[in-house]
A and B are shown apart, each in its own frame.
Chain A
Amino acid sequence: MSISLLLLIVAVIGVAGYLIGSWRANALAGGKLSNLHSRPGYYGSFVAIWSILPAVVVLFVWVIASPIYISSTVRAGFPEEVKAEPQATQNLNYNMISAIARGFKVLTAEEREALFKDGATARDVLASKGVPVAAEPAPYMLKSADDLNRMTTTSSTWLSILVVIVAAVGAFFSYRSIAPKFRARNRVEGMMLVGLIAASSIAILTTVGIVASMATEAIHFFNMVPAWEFFFGTTWDPRFAAAGATASAGQFGLIPLLAGTLYIGFVAMLVAVPVGLFAAIYMSEYASRHVRSVAKPLLEVLAGIPTIVYGFFALVTVGPFLRDISAQLNGLVTGNYSNFIQAQSVLTAGFVMGIMLIPYVSSLSDDIITAVPRALRDGSLGLGATRSETIKRVILPAALPGIVGALLMTASRAVGETMIVVLAAGVAARMQLNPFEPMTTVTVKIVNQLTGDLEFTSPQTLVAFALGITLFVITLCLNIYALYIVRKYREQYE
């Protein structure tokens, strides 16, 4: 019986449990609902939950555990000389057996018999049925495949029986426990609470898992390359090594990448902070309600544009434009029409990233400025201050901690931004101060190191994880500090 059909049956039992449970509760109430501890629906839900939940848990455990058990049983049946081979070869053999087992299912019983008698043609026969097998299978494989199929069928049968029984037993006992004084509501709500907690733990555990996996790979990297060479090295030259080449071929200095990241982020903030802040001040203090209702969503549309599109914009429009205009300027001043701004440069990437960040700055700052109590505005205006004096002397100082927090959050986005810099910043890991030249960032190098055919044993690839975790720590620190500042600021008005 297929899993989906099984789930359907369990669901049907659950729905039936709900209906019967509600009906039973109604019957017990005898027309007067106040006789019951909870409303009838809760009794129904209680039965439904006990029908579905244990059955589904059994189903999942079985689905995960049974292939592991079957695989180990099949492997135990391998001939001794095969067991002596390395683990990787055994895995390959097992994969082949699985393929054959899949093939057996599309063969008729006679064809299968024929294969056992004359194993030599197995590969061709299976191929003719559309099941590719890597090599001509050894005789023991046919037998193992047969075992595998048999065990899978048995497992599936037992699974079906067990799940249906568990669902039925759950329904039966929960139905039996229905009584007027039974606290069904508390039970159901308790189970809901467990579900909510589980949902939030998944989010947190995922983060922990990501960090753990990055950290493990990064530790592999630091086993090959000393940490101080990575963190304080000033040369980035990973030397893409062919598979199996010696590990120490490249130099992995983080400093040039970090410099590029911070430089481009700085240029981006230089664009985004004034524009975004002024936009926020206009939106929150000057714009009439009508203008605000149109302009604010339009501004926030910028935030919805995928960053790869900004990347195109930088690559196709802004970069060439800056290059050409610099050539024209140079020509006008010196007569030599050569461009001094490269198409891919710190300026291009920073400028476009700045545009991307404007809505973040303006939206966050707008919220913070609007949160300054109206009483403070009135107080200042009532003293004869103009609007701009009120903004400069009362509102911005009051909102400053919050705005700083918002800017820090924006900065952490700038540091982690990838697609724009991949397209617009260049790939040359250089340390220099000219914003018209290309530089590269941590994120660009992560992309570079993880593109193409990879071997996850060389430092050339593993360095991506070290870079990733460095980036993660930087943005995490920025975000935590930003949250700390924002929270401290909020306390002032409560």
Chain B
Amino acid sequence: MNMMSEAAVEKALDKKMNDISYKMIGKDVSVYYGDKRALYDVNLNVRENTVTALIGPSGCGKSTFLRTLNRMNDTIDGCRVTGRITLDTDDIYDQNIDVVELRARVGMVFQKPNPFPKSIYENVAYGPRIHGLAKSKADMDAIVEKSLQKAGLWNEVKDRLQEGGTGLSGGQQQRLCIARAVAVSPEVILMDEPCSALDPIATAKVEELIHELRANFTIVIVTHSMQQAARVSQRTAMFHLGNLVEENDTDKMFTNPDDQRTQDYIMGRFG
């Protein structure tokens, strides 16, 4: 009974969100690495306060698309993006957009936990310090505490904030990286296979965390695990060979997909 009602509440919430807006809109997005084309005219919209999962076999372009959303592809030599991506109403590839500001609004969590070789406190304070978000030490302390709490790490590390971030376990490190991203108060958080280097228990914690973060952030997550996509996301997009195959409600996607290729991939017939 209880489960049912919770699911019902969630559905209602989704419906409400659907009515509100798209946070990011990608139109005819193509990406080239040198002469090689990695994405073909992808049209994909990201809904606000929703978890959107990107799935598909290796090399299908899902990570590439994710990285276009905060222009992390700019850091790769010879990478070129065409098409149009907007965040709210701003074209993020516009000349006048500062990539620094963009990345403050669209944060990112990577596949492998990559804490800086600094203390736990400094790891979280890194972003706010760069963007000048804290006016005083007390402000900063508050931001660090709030971010670690949001990442569900506060209780585990509150007594050793000055110890090295690299000394934590893999799962803790990944949650530290999430706290680090949250500390900048982004609007969107991109996650590139955030659980692929973690054990099942740590994975469960991170998934739970994603679920909670949804209330305040828009999340796009790349994953190789069908179960994970089904567990954490409300919308799912399936990529194949650089094309967007299908984008749909997660429930529908995993029960009754529109496209045969999605059906095959989810059933494990290829990929």
Chain A positions near chain B (C-beta within 8 angstroms): 288-289, 373, 375-386, 389, 393-394, 397-398, 492
Contacts and interface: CB of A to CB of B under 8 A. Distances in A.
Contacts of B20: none
Given A382-B72, A384-B100, A394-B126, 18 more contacts: A373-B114, A375-B112, A376-B114, A381-B72, A381-B75, A382-B108, A383-B107, A383-B108, A383-B126, A384-B102, A384-B104, A384-B127, A384-B131, A386-B100, A393-B126, A397-B117, A398-B116, A398-B117
Nearest to A398: B117
25 contacts: A288-B77, A289-B77, A373-B114, A375-B110, A375-B112, A375-B114, A378-B108, A378-B110, A379-B114, A379-B177, A379-B180, A381-B72, A382-B108, A383-B107, A383-B126, A383-B127, A383-B130, A384-B100, A384-B103, A384-B107, A394-B116, A394-B126, A397-B117, A398-B116, A398-B117
Contacts of B101: 384
Nearest to B190: A382
A381 B100 CA distance: 8
A157 B14 CA distance: 103
B120 to A, nearest CB: 14
B181 interface: yes
B236 interface: no
A404 B110 CA distance: 30
A375 B75 CA distance: 12
Interface string B70-87: 101001010000000000
A-side interface mostly: helix
Contacts of B117: 376, 397-398, 492
B11 interface: no
Nearest to A393: B126
A328 to B, nearest CB: 47
B213 to A, nearest CB: 16
Contacts of B126: 380, 383, 385, 393-394
A123 to B, nearest CB: 81
B181 A382 contact: yes
A377 B72 CA distance: 11
A397 B102 CA distance: 26
Contacts of A492: 117, 166
Nearest to A383: B127
Given A383-B180, A398-B117, A492-B166, A378 B75 contact: yes
B118 interface: yes
Interface string B182-196: 001000000000000
A379 B72 contact: no
A388 to B, nearest CB: 11
B118 A397 contact: yes
Contacts of B114: 373, 375-376, 378-379
Contacts of B118: 397
A383 B107 CA distance: 6
Nearest to A492: B117
A376 B110 CA distance: 10
A13 B100 CA distance: 75
A383 B184 CA distance: 7
Q: Which one of A376, A378, A398 has the greatest number of beta carbons of chain B within 10 Å? A: A378
B116 A382 contact: no
A386 B99 CA distance: 9
Interface residues of B, number: 27
A237 to B, nearest CB: 53
A289 B34 CA distance: 13
Nearest to B126: A383
A361 B152 CA distance: 44
B103 A383 contact: yes
Contacts of B103: 381-384
Nearest to B131: A384
A378 B70 CA distance: 12
A393 B112 CA distance: 20
B227 to A, nearest CB: 26
Nearest to B123: A379
A288 B117 CA distance: 27
Contacts of B72: 378, 381-382
A437 to B, nearest CB: 45
Contacts of B131: 384
A377 B127 CA distance: 13
A397 B107 CA distance: 23
A384 B102 CA distance: 7
List the 5 closest A-B pairs by CB distance, nearest first: A382-B108, A375-B114, A384-B103, A384-B104, A383-B127
A385 B116 contact: no
B100 A385 contact: yes
A377 B75 CA distance: 10
Q: Which one of B101, B102, B110, B117 has the greatest number of beta carbons of chain A within 10 Å? A: B117
Contacts of B107: 382-384
Q: Which one of A289, A379, A385, A386 has the greatest number of beta carbons of chain B within 10 Å? A: A379
B219 to A, nearest CB: 15
A405 to B, nearest CB: 16
Nearest to B114: A375
Interface in B116-142: 116-118, 126-127, 130-131
A376 B75 contact: no
Nearest to B109: A382
Contact of B110 (A288, A289, A382, A393): A382
Contact of B130 (A377, A378, A385, A397): A385
Interface in B54-108: 70, 72, 75, 77, 100-104, 107-108
A263 B100 CA distance: 44
Contacts of A376: 114, 116-117
A382 B102 CA distance: 10
B101 to A, nearest CB: 7
Nearest to B128: A383
A3 B112 CA distance: 65
Contacts of B177: 379
A35 to B, nearest CB: 47
A289 B79 CA distance: 13
B102 to A, nearest CB: 8
A380 B181 contact: no
B184 A384 contact: yes
A393 B125 CA distance: 12
Contacts of B115: 379
Contacts of A288: 77
Nearest to A378: B110
Contacts of B75: 377-378, 381
Contacts of A386: 100
A384 to B, nearest CB: 4
Contacts of A289: 77
A420 B226 CA distance: 67
A39 B187 CA distance: 68
Contacts of A378: 72, 75, 108, 110, 114
B79 to A, nearest CB: 13
